[in-house]
Amino acid sequence: MQTILPEDLPHRERHQLLLSGVAPRPIAFVSSIAPEGNVNLSPFSFFNAYSSKPPIVAIGPAIAARTGRAKDTLLNILEHRECTISTVSYSMVHKMNIASAEYPRDVDEYVKAGFSKGASRLVSPPYVAESPYSMECRLVENIEIRRDIGGNGNLMMLEVVAFHVSDSVMVDGKIDPHKMDLVARLSHGFYARTSEIFEARQPTHLCIGFDALPEHIRTSEILTGNDLARLAYVPVLPMLDGSFPSFEDTFRADSVEIELNANNPLGALYAMLQEGKQRDRALRHRIAKAFIVNNQIDEAWQTLLLE
Ligand SMILES: Cc1cc2nc3c(=O)[nH]c(=O)nc-3n(C[C@H](O)[C@H](O)[C@H](O)COP(=O)(O)O)c2cc1C
């Protein structure tokens, strides 16, 4: 493990080191208006939400370290106190990249990057019509970051005054993250696409936690930290259920290995009992792991408790 002090690195390396760890970052596609009326559009991945009552987001348009020039977005929002932020779907990402080049202030990046303008309701800058989700924002406050030591960052706090959500991403009255297909920025030129989406519900109960896992489970060589966490999530330490496992008379299974390869943990459990291998702890843990993969946490626990 390396320990690196920020002051030991040149700016560019420090920048990439920071961005490698603070990732993936959502992308704000920010539209603002210059004093002469020119519309601006640029992406910012120093972006997140900080409050929902009221809805507050923040972006970080910098003073460019290389040129010392303030980003047009920063100057425009300081002047007009308004902007829109559109999210970036995969279908928009390469066009967005074109908008990120440092064009002169009078260039309209909507035109350069082939985007169309949606008419905002409460602020003057338009939003990106191709984006499934946009926000109209007003400036709350801009914090200049550590100018006393030559800092070049800004923390622009913005209040969202209107949301625009496309019907195309709505399913049963909710925004479907699969349909949003958002991208995020990593370090250097890398991006992530949210095509592999999974659910990990925040517990509303107190979990038993790792410390309550029986020793033979906690020290498993088969179960990973994530597997153990799925077991430790339960509110009460499960007890062995004498009726587990129960199989219909007609239940049939191949060998343990074939059933595990077919991702059929119940079949594997049946075969394990048929083959008289119930004392094989590693095998029970493999079957439990297959139950966990299938989100069958009760069955995973019961298999482990067959100890
Ligand atoms: C995905 C992406 C994210 C970016 N994030 C930031 C950022 O958070 N802060 C920043 O100052 N520049 C960021 N940039 C660079 C700006 O988009 C770029 O400097 C742009 O030309 C600024 O335009 P403007 O001067 O019209 O505001 C990012 C670029 C890309 C492609």
DSSP codes, 178-193: HHH-BEEE-STT-EEE
Query: Hey, what are 163's tokens?
Result: 């949301």
Q: Are 23 and 39 in contact (CB under 8 A)?
A: no
Å from CA of 135 to ligand 1 middle: 18
* Residue of 12, 98, 100, 107 to test ligand 1 pocket, by largest number of atoms within 8 Å of CB: 100
- Specify the ligand 1 atom closest to the Cα of 96: 31
Q: 62 CB under 6 A from ligand 1?
A: yes
Q: 185 CB under 6 A from ligand 1?
A: yes
* pLDDT at 307 > cutoff 90: no
Q: Are 220 and 280 in contact (CB under 8 A)?
A: no
Which DSSP category does 92 fall into? G
Look over the chain and give the mean of its residue pLDDT values, rounded to a whole number: 96
Give counts: helices (H), strands (E), the chain.
11, 14
Q: 26 CB under 6 A from ligand 1?
A: no
Å from CA of 116 to ligand 1 middle: 20
For residue 141, report the phi and psi dihedrals to the nearest 5 degrees: -165, 145
The residue length of the chain stands at 307
Kind of pairing between the strands at 174-175 and 170-171: antiparallel
Q: Model confidence at 28, in pLDDT bands (50, 70, 90)?
A: very high
Å from CA of 165 to ligand 1 middle: 24
Residue 176's pLDDT is 97
Residue 249's pLDDT is 93
Q: Cα 227 to chain center, whole Å?
A: 20
* Residue of 12, 18, 42, 156 to test ligand 1 pocket, by largest number of atoms within 8 Å of CB: 42
For residue 271, report the phi and psi dihedrals to the nearest 5 degrees: -65, -40
Q: 60 CB under 6 A from ligand 1?
A: yes
Domains present along the chain, CATH in parentheses: 6-193 (2.30.110.10), 210-305 (no CATH)
pTM here is: 0.93
Q: What is the mean pLDDT of residues 193-218?
A: 96
CA distance 158 to 149: 25
- Residues 6+ positions from 282 with CB-CB distance below 8 Å: 221, 222
Q: Are 137 and 158 in contact (CB under 8 A)?
A: yes
Q: 44 CB under 6 A from ligand 1?
A: yes
Residue 303's pLDDT is 97
Q: 97 CB under 6 A from ligand 1?
A: yes
How many of the other CB atoms lie within 10 Å of CB of 99? 25
Å from CA of 40 to ligand 1 middle: 12
Residue 65's pLDDT is 82
Residue 111's pLDDT is 97
Å from CA of 76 to ligand 1 middle: 14
- Specify the ligand 1 atom closest to the Cα of 74: 27
Distance linking the first and last C-alpha atoms of the chain: 38
Q: Are 284 and 307 in contact (CB under 8 A)?
A: yes
pLDDT in tens, 128-187: 999 999 999 999 999 999 999 999 999 999 999 999 999 999 999 999 999 999 999 999
pLDDT in tens, 31-63: 999 988 999 999 999 999 999 999 999 999 999
State whether residue 263 is helix, strand or coil.
coil
* pLDDT at 8 > cutoff 90: yes
- Specify the ligand 1 atom closest to the Cα of 43: 17
Å from CA of 302 to ligand 1 middle: 52
Q: Model confidence at 288, in pLDDT bands (50, 70, 90)?
A: very high
Q: What is the dihedral of CA 303, 269, 280, 239, to 10 degrees?
A: 20
pLDDT in tens, 98-110: 999 999 888 999 9
Query: Hey, what are 99's tokens?
Result: 């908008």
Give residue for tokens 């169309």: 116
Helix segments in the chain, DSSP class H = 11-21, 72-80, 93-99, 109-113, 177-180, 215-218, 225-232, 256-261, 265-274, 281-293, 297-305
Q: 45 CB under 6 A from ligand 1?
A: yes
